[in-house]
Chains A and B, each alone.
Chain A
Amino acid sequence: MRRLNYILKRLLQMLPVLLVVTIMTFLMIHLIPGDPARIMAGEKARPDAVEAMRVKLGLNKPLWEQYGIYLKNLLTLDLGTSMKFSRPVVEMIRERLPVTVALTLFSTFLGLLFALPLGYLAGIQKDRMADHAIRISTLIAIAMPSFWVGLLLMILFSVNHRWLPAGGWDNTNLFTEFKCLILPAFTQSLMTAAILIRDMRNSVVDIIRQDYVDFAKSKGLSAGAVRRRHIIRNSMVSTVTLLSMRMAALLGGSVIIETVFALPGIGKLTYDAISARDYTVVQSVVFLFALLVLVVTLLTDILYSFLDPRVEF
């Protein structure tokens, strides 16, 4: 019951935050110099065509009215029509979201695949060769700019040896889609893995020191059982938290990787919409991102309370 109350309270608290997010997004996009009517009408368009465009896009209306339309669109879940593409924003998001979500899940999966054994190994082998090697590798993985790694991988695997597609999105079938995701997901997973490994290692180191591990050992549990029952499970708590935060960051920060690999995802959509001053798209997508981040944070907090009963509300 207390948990339910807590969740309801958190949900209520989200409302004013989301409202301010809409105001900020609206003001920000309107503060960007560059007249959308002019950009949508085209470079060679004459002034009368630009004016007609302004009326068509509703940009001649007072600001508060434009904001009202934005809010109304959000509330009716309609999200409006893209200024540039004259298409429903919902449709555009629906087309692109799967790419970003697939990329995020795939790269998170790869990240976990690297992180769990390596992080555990580093923690167990603290301050020995394996630990140093793993730690330095993670630092390198964090310090490498993702676009640089992406370009190098592309040269290696797509240009020199034509094993994988050099970016782009081939949706002929699941297999071609999978092939298009390998390099970007791997590039993105490096950073995820590095963050998770470091966290995992530190948790393992901390937990090994804890009394209950000693206690468990003194109870006569084998080393393997201690690891399984206590170390891994407990170190998972912070890993899960970190992972969910990382996933939110990945969803939002997909701009760079989607640009390098020319993937038609949601990050690329947002960036293009900012450059094209496509107000309706930017407003809707940024709102969705904010909503997503808030929900993921809430879910993490709830999940955390299940994994670690000591957490109180």
Chain B
Amino acid sequence: MKKLLALLCALCLLVPAFALAEEDTIVFGGTEPTYLEPNAPAIGGPEIHAVEQINEGLVRMSSDGVTVEPLLATDWTISEDGLTYTFNLVPGVVFSDGTPVKGEDWEWSLYRARDTETSEYRFIAEPIDTVEATDSQVVITLKAPNGAFLAELCSFNMVLGCKAYAESMTEEEYIMNPMGTGAYMLKEWNHGNYVLLEKNPNYRNADQVKTQYIKFQTVEDDNTRLMQLQSGQIDIMGDIPASLMDVVRNSEGLTLETFESTQIRYLLLNTTIEPFSDINVRKALVKGINRDEIAEVVYGEFGGATASVLSAAHTKYINTDLEVVPYDPEGAKADLEAAGYPDGIEFTLYASPNEVYQQIAIMLQSQLAPAGFKVNIVTEDGGTIYEHAQNLELEACMFQWSDDYYDPSEVLGWICDYDQSSAWFTGLNDVELDELQAAALIEQDDEKRVEMYKELQQRVYDNYNVIPLFHNSFAYAYNNSVQGLAVDTFSNYYCENIFKAE
């Protein structure tokens, strides 16, 4: 018994010692990454947040979310025909193990982004035809002109890795053990628990990096995460759900930062089966939806109704002529009657167990009832819904989109290019739309390109198959002692300047 007590006392004494060592560590609380390499399959927020600290690309999006700024390239030129991009490199860059960056590393990295068969974001590198690089210059030739390419180069998967290092191990090992030129390097990955990054001593601006360790602590549950933030176990919590934003804001000692994200929730109507094969029914349905109210219930002041399928982050591309259809249940009912459904329509709406979709579903059900639509909500596991939706088996379902880079071609390609997603699981094969989308992608003239994307938005709006419901802010919160964290519209976290104030 005495021994046990002594042991416990000893353990208690150990605790302050460990706490001291934690001073120079900033802890993020979030979901555990699956891999730490951007060309691995199924990459999401948790992976990207860590990868962005380790690997760097030629260019990156500046924190305003609109302009492209140099990173490992000092400057660049684009040929007249829009096919050849020439980047001059920052001299003397080395990987975190001290190996100097060579031209072959660039060639290997960019081809890897394009050719890794199972990579989820391989399509971003698809326009690349050839890459020729020396130790001071990278020349990329495209298959066809592409107005979005520079923005695409800012994406997290167009980053530099070390060829010799990667080839010294198996693919499985490499996607767990990345190495790059970024401010941090992977120190330890305790699976199921945390990913620990350490300051890269060979980083070219190493003297500016203030924090020694960044720890991505795995805390799966939102409520638990918040409680850990409040109790000081973690310093930063990203992706705060709407329902908790107010709580965080009113919590003492915590700072809530919100920013307009590119995330939009969409209602998708299957145009290949009854009842939504009839455009008049779709039109009537839209009149029966009160998007403001849904945004209000789900996101409060952090969300708002949206008319265009494009998020506000795409500034100049937004078609501002589009208006949110006002809520008019009587009008909807009349339209429905005119369309040949005097007794109204009953349909099934599929929702994943995620609370946001559950809330939207309940709001839609309640709003559409007076408009003559009886909505049956069916909750299914996300994977199940995706499969059925993809096979065009569902009457109506909901999905979200958030962009990966500053260009409207990503989401509009997804919606308009029938081959990509059957018009986002709605089965509407609009050939003109498809052609316009293809033409917009290769258009060189910026003004014309903007006009084309505006028209695309108008056409999608008029098809009533993909209905944007609302956009919302993203929020992250931190302990007041944390300073210097920068996050942009596309949820990229910049940690070089982060530190904990005393």
The yes or no verdict on A and B being binding partners is yes
Distance in angstroms between the alpha carbons of A43 and B383 in the assembled complex: 10
Q: Is A41 an interface residue (CB 8 A)?
A: yes
The answer to whether A262 touches B221, judged by C-beta atoms less than 8 angstroms apart, is: yes
Distance in angstroms between the alpha carbons of A291 and B234 in the assembled complex: 38
Residues of chain A within 8 A (CB-CB) of B227 are: 154, 158-159, 166-167
The answer to whether B122 touches A46, judged by C-beta atoms less than 8 angstroms apart, is: yes
Q: Which of B317-371 contact A (CB under 8 A)?
A: none
| Stretch of B112-120, B161-169, B204-212 lying at the A interface | B112-120
Residues of chain B within 8 A (CB-CB) of A173 are: 11, 14-15, 18
Residues of chain B within 8 A (CB-CB) of A42 are: 41-44, 120-121
The answer to whether B390 touches A44, judged by C-beta atoms less than 8 angstroms apart, is: no
Q: Is A227 an interface residue (CB 8 A)?
A: no
- A168: contacting residue among B117, B191, B224, CB under 8 A: B224
A-B contacts counted at CB < 8 A amount to: 151
| Stretch of A59-67, A82-90, A204-212, A242-250 lying at the B interface | A82-90
Assuming the contacts A34-B383, A260-B221, asked whether A87 and B191 have C-beta atoms less than 8 A apart, the reply is yes
Q: Is A301 an interface residue (CB 8 A)?
A: no
Assuming the contacts A95-B192, A175-B15, asked whether A49 and B386 have C-beta atoms less than 8 A apart, the reply is no
Q: Is B447 an interface residue (CB 8 A)?
A: no
The answer to whether B193 touches A171, judged by C-beta atoms less than 8 angstroms apart, is: yes
Nearest B residue to A84, CB-CB:
B34
A163-181 vs B: 1/0 string, CB under 8 Å? 0011111111111100000
Residues of chain A within 8 A (CB-CB) of B221 are: 167, 259-260, 262
- A261: contacting residue among B224, B225, B231, CB under 8 A: B224
Q: Is A302 an interface residue (CB 8 A)?
A: no
Q: Which of A42-77 contact B (CB under 8 A)?
A: 42-46, 48-49, 52-53, 56
Minimum distance in angstroms from B404 CB to a CB of chain A = 8
Residues of chain A within 8 A (CB-CB) of B118 are: 40-41, 49, 52-53, 56
The answer to whether B41 touches A45, judged by C-beta atoms less than 8 angstroms apart, is: yes
Nearest A residue to B121, CB-CB:
A44
Residues of chain A within 8 A (CB-CB) of B219 are: 167-168, 262
Minimum distance in angstroms from B309 CB to a CB of chain A = 16
Distance in angstroms between the alpha carbons of A271 and B193 in the assembled complex: 17
Q: Which 10 A-B pairs have the closest CB atoms?
A: A166-B227, A34-B383, A42-B120, A52-B117, A42-B42, A264-B192, A167-B224, A175-B11, A45-B120, A262-B224
Binding site for B on A (CB under 8 A): 32-35, 38-46, 48-49, 52-53, 56, 81, 84-87, 91-92, 95-96, 151, 154, 158-159, 162, 165-176, 259-262, 264, 268, 275-277
Binding site for A on B (CB under 8 A): 8, 11-12, 14-15, 18, 29, 34-35, 40-44, 117-123, 172, 175-176, 190-193, 217-221, 223-225, 227-228, 230-233, 381-384, 386-388, 390, 414, 420
